[in-house]
Amino acid sequence: MKKILVTGGLGFIGSHICVSLIEQNYSICIIDSLINSEEDNLLSIKKICNLSNNFPKDRITFFKGDIKDKRFLMNIFEKAVDEQKPIEAVIHLAGLKSVNESIEEPLTYWETNVVGTINLLEAMQNYNCKNIVFSSSATIYKPILNELVTENSDLGPISPYGTTKLTIEKILEDLSKSQQNDLKIINLRYFNPVGAHFSGLLGENPKGRPNNLFPILLKVASGEYEKLSIFGADWPTRDGTCIRDYIHVMDLAEAHISALNFILNSSSIFINLNIGTGNGKSVLEVVETFKKVNKCQFEYSYVSRRNGDIPYLVADNRLALSTLHWRPQRNLNDMCIDAWRWKIRSKSKFT
Ligand code: NAD
Ligand code: UDP
């Protein structure tokens, strides 16, 4: 059973990936500082995967710690080697992800995302771990109206967050060139991951006030917020609201399994892949779908455009489809239904 290190494994996307990894018979080691997640997610992962006390303890291990701490990372790789179950590959999600916060606190973002990743790569190099799947983002692209972005589209992030992601991609590319031997690297450029695990036990629960559409929508639909503010009704799109490529978080998790299997079975490689559905939906379409499939009502109003927003960002995902033999299975209805199931379940848990 291969051991995979998942940094940021208790966060929104990481926790869903951990479920898929366990289901695919990997053994996992999770690192998380819990800066934006709860240890409860570990229990939910175990519950979904039916990991009772009878399962070998090393199917899933958790280390609370920070990727900025190089010693901490080295110790984890060393422990795995000592136990004769070295880490075969890393899925690297740990990092900070708020575009707005990155504008306010760029140094924090550079230190966590870039320096943290360099620490991780040094630890991997030290312990001869050659496989990495990195969580990159569609925010690295220069926006173009009404055209799908391919992996070769122009790059031009407009926030420090996006710049840190692009910088990490460049570091990984340099590394792949410097060690001609057998480094295997996939940058997965996520579009807009939303939704939740079908069980309702895992979902997106950011600490503090959310910035993204779905977590806000859930708070509005559940009555925590009075109404939804839609940022702009005058964008050059079919209904005047912005268009994004929303992808179900379990489809995204499954893309990671395919990416991992791909690199574990290939020779040296460096590749960037867009992970989206290729199907853009406007904010208004999301709102109407959410109301319809969940049979709920809430108010929304149009407010001025949000600083830094772009009208249209949708993936050309053909390279990912052909490389990974993966295909998104779930549509916007599923994303809305699963997210709402998670919200209702987690609300009853906390009230
Ligand atoms: P998240 O905040 O839910 O998960 C990130 C996890 O990393 C959290 O559990 C957090 O506690 C942990 N973490 C943060 N800094 C850390 C550090 N220094 N050391 C150890 N752990 C740390 O975010 P997510 O939505 O699951 O995103 C995961 C990754 O995917 C991030 O790298 C993010 O930039 C990237 N990404 C996310 C989206 C999105 O819309 N959610 C889109 C594109 C890319
Ligand atoms: N959005 C909105 N109201 C909100 C939050 C988001 O109208 O309260 C819009 C936002 O302008 C964007 C879309 O929803 O067009 C998706 O926003 P999100 O922050 O989730 O993703 P990103 O903009 O980073 O792609």
| Among the bound ligands, the one closest to the CA of 39 | 1
H-state helical runs in the chain = 12-23, 40-48, 70-82, 99-104, 106-109, 116-126, 160-178, 213-221, 249-264, 283-294, 318-324, 332-350
State yes or no: is 300 an active-site residue. Answer: no
Q: For residue 346, what pLDDT is reported?
A: 86
Active-site residue, selected from the candidate residues 109, 161, 190, 246: 161
Listed as ranges, residues in the chain with pLDDT below 50 are none
- Pick the atom of ligand 1 nearest to 113's CA: 18
Q: Could you tell me which of 185, 320, 181, 323 has the C-alpha nearest to residue 264?
A: 185
Query: Mutation test of ligand 2: which of 231, 281, 284, 304 has the most ligand atoms closer than 8 Å to its C-beta?
Result: 231
> What residues flank ligand 2, with Cβ below 6 Å?
192, 211-213, 216, 228-231, 242, 244, 283, 306, 309
- The Å distance, Cα 285 to ligand 2 centre, comes to 13
Q: Could you tell me which of 339, 251, 332 has the C-alpha nearest to residue 284?
A: 332
**pLDDT for 288-332, tens place per residue?**
999 999 999 999 999 999 988 999 999 999 999 999 999 999 999
- The Å distance, Cα 32 to ligand 2 centre, comes to 26
User: How far apart (Å, rounded) are the C-alpha atoms in residues 101 and 112?
Assistant: 13
* Nearest CA residue ID for atom 11, ligand 2: 231
Q: For residue 232, what pLDDT is reported?
A: 97
Look up the CATH superfamily of 3-197+246-276: NAD(P)-binding Rossmann-like Domain (3.40.50.720)
| pTM beyond cutoff 0.75 | yes
User: How far apart (Å, rounded) are the C-alpha atoms in residues 53 and 50?
Assistant: 10
Q: For residue 243, what pLDDT is reported?
A: 97
Domain residue limits, the chain: 3-197+246-276
Indicate whether residue 114 lines ligand 1 (CB < 6 A).
no
- What is residue 72's three-state secondary structure? helix
What DSSP assignment string belongs to 7-46? Answer: ETTTSHHHHHHHHHHHHTT-EEEEEE--SSS-THHHHHHH
Give Cα separations from 212 to 97, 139, 208, 231, 264 (angstroms): 11, 14, 12, 12, 34
Q: For residue 350, what pLDDT is reported?
A: 52
Q: For residue 3, what pLDDT is reported?
A: 97
Q: Could you tell me which of 61, 75, 71, 74 has the C-alpha nearest to residue 32?
A: 61
